[in-house]
Amino acid sequence: MTDLRAVSLWWDSLGASPAPRDPLDGDLDVDVAIVGAGYTGLWTAHYLAKAAPGTRIAIIEANVAGFGASGRNGGWCSALFPASLDRIARTSSRRAAIAMQHAMHDTVDEVGRVATAGGLDIDWAKGGTVGLARTAVQLDRAREEVAHWRSWGFGAADYRLLDAEEANERVGATSVLGAAYTPHCAAIHPAKLARGLAGLVEDAGVRIFEGTPATGIEPGVVRTPFGDVRAPHVVRATEAFTATLPGHRRAILPVYSLMLATEPLPAEVWERIGLAARETFNDGRHLIIYGQRTADDRLAFGGRGAPYRYASRIDPATERDGRVHEGLWQTLTELFPAVAPFRVTHRWGGPLGISRDWYASCGLDRRTGLAWAGGYVGDGVGTANLAGRTLADLITGTDSELTELPWVNHRSRHWEPEPLRWLGANGGLTVMTSADAAEARSGRPARRAALFERFLGH
């Protein structure tokens, strides 16, 4: 049995590991079977139970609710969606792309609303996101980003440029030249949300079976070692772990993101760092970093950089990659030198899921009753809520504004077979890392990163 307190800072701060719920005990007939008790599975159950009380819903979870990325992430409940508006518009229309972004904005508040209504304390603070520009190249990128939002009709209330003084007031990092700012993000405690949601759906009559791995998902049935769960609707909510399911091995690429957290920092350090509204923050480098000030005054900070494992292997050893954690610490102390004397108390990581065209989707195949949602890359905290609401509408046959959104029933093609997948994923990582180094050296935008992003279709 995994020591759940070792999974992440978030799990550790919940206190004693919760006793797991009972596994499935024999065959079961329900109306909706959901595989995976992360945000996607739990939100889907929540909205289904609300829309159609009395619906028999079972969630089949291999480990415990919140064990996956949902209990490990950076806690940015953001309006970010992994595919750009240009890309969404190319496969739908300008109007649909804009509607998608408005739905993402609403989603941030919806998460906060449900948490409040359900009495869940998730350490919610809607301080927005500050995307720091710490080099001239990054400042140009921030300007372009804000101009891009303007071209799509979003004004300064949604996305705006901060000058160096304003940016520094919010985030006292080194070398700040300015920032792109959006209010559409809340910092949350990820595991409190996942565990709280699990309790909420159980109260609504949903049954959660933990320690129950699905060994197959087929139309009308979820197979497990302890029995079959038969249901006219089956929802795949397994994100990065999807690659372990027969028939879905190339649907989603599992990629690890790693994090660390400091001990609680004293008030005089926070006076220098700022983040008074618990703004989430990153900067304009290619190899993504992200941070938040936690409710108990730690810095929780993460980034990519861990290698993709051959054949989409989910390998817990990847969660504790000393080289990546050391790199994260170096970056954090470079941003905030005042943090250097303090201890790192937690190091962890987890797998997130990427679809081949980096376009998250949710959908229902009405012919087979199979539904799915995922491919959120690093943006699943908010997006999974939108997925849950949308899947509930699809399953109950309710036509709504949500079911009209362009990501609904979007199909991404499969990832390449190995070794191409391994070469592409790790090659991309190298390109992004070396692009950051090249930009730092030359002070000019790295062409190879732009080319790679174009190749990905961003």
Ligand X SMILES: Cc1cc2nc3c(=O)[nH]c(=O)nc-3n(C[C@H](O)[C@H](O)[C@H](O)COP(=O)(O)OP(=O)(O)OC[C@H]3O[C@@H](n4cnc5c(N)ncnc54)[C@H](O)[C@@H]3O)c2cc1C
Please report whether residue 352 would count as binding ligand X according to CB under 6 A: yes
Using DSSP, how many helices (H) and how many strands (E) does the chain show? 12, 20
Burial 260-298 (b: 16+ CB within 10 A, else e): bbbeebeeebbeebbbeebbbbbbbbbbbbbbbbbbebb
Q: Which of 20, 30, 61, 197 binds ligand X (CB under 6 A)?
A: 61
Distance between CA 105 and CA 109 in Å, rounded? Answer: 7
- Tell me if 355 contacts ligand X by CB under 6 A: no
CB of 76 to ligand X, least distance (A): 3
* 246 burial level (CB within 10 Å; 0-12, 13-18, 19+): exposed
Contact 412, 357 (CB under 8 A): yes
Taking CB under 6 A as the rule, does residue 58 contact ligand X?
Answer: no
Which part of the chain contacts ligand X (CB under 6 A), choosing from 29-37, 85-93, 167-175, 329-337?
A: 29-37
For residue 350, state whether it binds ligand X (rule: CB under 6 A).
yes
CB atoms under 10 Å from CB of 400, counted, come to 13
**What single string gives the DSSP state of each residue in 313-375?**
---GGGGG-HHHHHHHHHHHHHH-GGGTTSPEEEEEEEEEEE-TTS--EEEEETTTTEEEEE-
Contacting residue, 20, 38, 274, 363, with ligand X by CB under 6 A: 38
By residue count, the chain amounts to: 458
Taking CB under 6 A as the rule, does residue 300 contact ligand X? no
- Of 70, 135, 168, 182, the one binding ligand X (CB under 6 A) is 70
Among 37, 88, 273, 335, binds ligand X (CB under 6 A): 37
Residues 390-449 binding ligand X (CB under 6 A) are none
* Nearest distance, CB of residue 115 and ligand X, angstroms: 15
The residues, any chain, with a CB within 8 Å of residue 93's CB and separated by 6 or more, are 406
**209 and 60 Cβ atoms separated by less than 8 Å:** yes
Nearer to ligand X, 28 or 214 (CB): 214
Residues from 367 through 396 that contact ligand X (CB under 6 A): 374, 376, 378-382, 384
Region 201-240 residues binding ligand X, contact defined as CB under 6 A: 213-214, 237-240
Q: Of residues 4, 10, 33, 40, which one binds ligand X by CB under 6 A?
A: 40
**x/- site string to ligand X, residues 244 to 283, per CB under 6 A?**
xx-----------x-x------------------------
Interface residues toward ligand X, by CB under 6 A:
35-41, 60-63, 67-70, 72-76, 78, 213-214, 237-241, 244-245, 257, 259, 290, 302, 349-352, 374, 376, 378-382, 384
